Amino acid sequence: MAPAPIKTGSVEFLKPTVEDGAAMWELVNESTLDQNSAYKYIMMCEFFAETCVVAKENDQVVGFVTAFIPPERQDVVFVWQIGVHSSQRGKGLASKLLHELVQREGCKEVKYVEATVTPSNEASQALFRRLARSFETECEVSDCFSEDLFPEEGHEEELTFRVGPIKN
């Protein structure tokens, strides 16, 4: 039996289903997030549901986090993308999504949350620093992917944000 969804106000935090993939893709297309194919979101919902979270209000996807545990580092959950609908911005939804992710059964061995963030993405940088403060731990920042690795012109370098160790 699946656990009851966590609710904050009128927003529920759930494991995604493949039916949520299209709504996640549409949310990204309405934002400034990096575009991925619709297939990526459907695949994440199917094969990585334990490390992904959707936030729904009135059965509509208003936010999500896609993440996975790297096979070589079982104590890390790597956050690929966080999307929040414009109607939910400024309400702490991204932080709530990350906390829900870390509390998942599939993350019980996780001690670190990692993500790559561009230098200009101040909102995401602040989000991961807030996460570290909320767990009373460190947020280390290091170089990850240099801009010359990206085939398209103008893609910024990606820095690794590593939060932890965390205790769940």
Q: Kindly give the parts of the chain with pLDDT less than 70.
A: 1-8
Q: Is 73:48 a contact under the CB 8 Å cutoff?
A: no
Q: Write down the residue that tokens 């939060």 correspond to.
A: 163
Q: How far apart are CA 81 and CA 63, in angstroms?
A: 11
What's the confidence (pLDDT) of residue 8?
61
What's the confidence (pLDDT) of residue 80?
95
What's the confidence (pLDDT) of residue 4?
54
Task: Give the length of the chain.
Answer: 168
Q: How far apart are CA 93 and CA 97, in angstroms?
A: 6
What's the confidence (pLDDT) of residue 22?
96
Percentage of the chain with pLDDT > 90?
Answer: 83
What 3-state DSSP class applies to 147?
helix
Fold topology of 11-164: Aminopeptidase (3.40.630)
- CA angle at residue 152 from 149 to 158, to 5 degrees? 45
Q: Write down the residue that tokens 């009851």 correspond to.
A: 4
